[in-house]
Amino acid sequence: MDKPTKLTRRRFIALSVLSAGGTCLLSRCANQALSPWRFITVGESNLLDALVEQIIPTDDWPGGRDAGVTNFIDRQLAGAYSRYQETYRKGLLAIQETCTAKFHKRFEEFSFEEQTQFLKIMEGGKMEGRQWGDGFDRYFFRLIRDHSMQGFYGSPRHGGNKDNISYKMMKLDYPVIIGQNRYILKSDGK
């Protein structure tokens, strides 16, 4: 029979650190498994939905939210746009901190007109607060605007433009991409 190992202070600390790290990792994995998102959190998705709906509002046609622009941004942040991950984390947090500090409510709780006014100030580079320094407000607004447009008008295979909404709105057939689409050619008489 093996002799039981003595629990020293050093061994106790090592086991505690491993246990805490494992718990954090497992809870992160469990939370991510429950989330429909690849990179953003559920809270960030609600904010992004409000932002993309402001940039591409619903009218006679579905807007940014219904076109899946948030899904597009999330997919791209987990892949090709991974270089913008920290920018999105910082910018979305800065928006919520500014809204709750100044107005005591989240951006999503603003009326459409209040959201519009907030984004006009942001676009103009006139946001107050340390998190908006060095023109970050203007930069982050342009980044969200550009990614929203890409998600709305781009190919649905990238996660946005759900049901080809923008193509239908512009009365376009699904764009042919040379080298990507396959054609079945019928021979004469068949």
Angle between helices 136-153 and 42-55 (to 10 degrees): 80
Cα–Cα distances in Å, from 22 out to 15, 39, 181? 10, 21, 46
Residue 127 confidence (pLDDT) above 90: yes
| Residue type, position 137, single letter | D
Residue 41: pLDDT band with limits 50, 70, 90: very high
pLDDT of residue 190: 46
Listed residue (96, 69, 52) closest to 160, CA to CA: 69
Say whether pTM exceeds 0.85. Answer: no
pLDDT digit string (tens) for 77-117? Answer: 999 999 999 999 999 999 999 999 999 999 999 999 999 99
Percent of the chain whose predicted confidence (pLDDT) is above 70:
79
Q: Which residues of 144-176 are buried (b: 16+ CB within 10 A; e: fewer)?
A: bbebbbbbbbbbbebbbbbebbbbebeeeeeee
Residue 5: pLDDT band with limits 50, 70, 90: low
Cβ-defined contacts of 177-185 (< 8 Å, 24+): none
Domain residue ranges of the chain, discontinuous segments joined by +: 37-169
Higher-confidence residue of 153 and 54: namely: 54
DSSP state of 111: -
Listed residue (99, 38, 96) closest to 70, CA to CA: 38
pLDDT of residue 172: 78
pLDDT of residue 76: 93
pLDDT of residue 8: 76
pLDDT of residue 179: 54
